[in-house]
Amino acid sequence: MASINTQAVTIGVATGAYGISFGALAVGAGFSWFQAMTFSILMFTGASQFAAIAIVAAGGAPVAAVLTSWLLGIRNGLYAVSLSQRLNPKGWLLPVTAQLTIDESTATAISHEEPDNSRPLQQAFYRTGIAVFLFWNVGTLVGALGVNAVGDPSDWGLDAAAPAALLALLWPRLSDRTARVTALWAVAVALVTTPLLPPGMPVLASALVALFIGLRRPSCG
């Protein structure tokens, strides 16, 4: 039980540090602190948020920003389909669960999955999702209000904090050949597409690789 709480807070803090980066970049791109906070509260998916402000800051149309953000958010829908039966949210938990379905909550939940007991997975999902939501929004506010003091967020290594936490979570799950092959292909696709695609799109491309392999796996067994 303590390990779930510790992981949730640790990932929340790491992601919150990345939220400082978003808040600072959003204000630097011409958004107000209130608009930056609206992004983080309502959209609440880092890649989509960074992509949206990058497009608007570069002079792109709002429609392009919305469509790009939506494309990047598709992976959260895939997560929801995968976890829906195990989380089984009902009533007021439905919108809460939808909002908390992100990379971090999904990865933590899967790392605590047990064959005949869904409770650890559910606890990991909700506690991590809530922790990330709180720290991400606090980080956004700190970055937005203190943009002049923060400077260039990349100088602090904030952009690496959240991915490092995710890697630490997923690494123990690479216990079989299919998982390792999927991870290697996803990494390869991300590395190849990063110089070619807009920010965030390589993440979606990697997710599609995992989806493709997952769909083919039953027919291979």
CA gap 44, 97 in Å, rounded: 12
pLDDT higher at 124 or 72: 124
Q: Tell me what the mean pLDDT of segment 149-167 comes to.
A: 57
Question: Which residues, including other chains, have CB under 8 Å from residue 8's CB and lie 6 or more apart?
Answer: 108, 124, 127, 128, 130, 131
Which pLDDT band, with edges at 50, 70 and 90, does 221 fall under?
very low
Mean pLDDT of 67-83: 82
Per residue in 17-56, pLDDT (tens digit) is 888 888 888 887 788 999 999 999 999 988 788 878 877 7
pLDDT band at 219 (very low <50, low <70, confident <90, very high): very low
Tell me the C-alpha distance between 149 and 136, whole Å.
19
Residues 6+ apart with CB under 8 A from 111: 7, 124, 169, 170, 172, 173
CB 111 within 8 A of CB 170: yes
Give per-residue pLDDT as tens, 109-128: 988 888 888 889 999 999 99
Q: Where are the alpha helices (DSSP H) in 88-176?
A: 93-100, 103-111, 119-145, 147-150, 158-170
pLDDT tens-digit map of 79-102: 888 898 889 888 999 999 999 999
Domain boundaries, the chain: 2-171, 174-221
Q: What is the pLDDT of residue 132?
A: 95
Q: What is the pLDDT of residue 213?
A: 75
Report the distance separating Cα 25 and Cα 32, nearest Å: 11
Cβ neighbour number for residue 119 with a 10 Å cutoff: 9
Q: How far apart are CA 70 and CA 180, in angstroms?
A: 29
Q: What is the pTM of this model?
A: 0.72
List phi, psi (to 5°) of 117. -145, 110
Q: Give the contacts of 58 (CB within 8 A, at least 6 positions apart).
A: none
Q: What is d(CA 7, CA 62) in angstroms, rounded to the nearest whole number?
A: 37
Q: Which residues pair with 12 in a beta bridge?
A: none
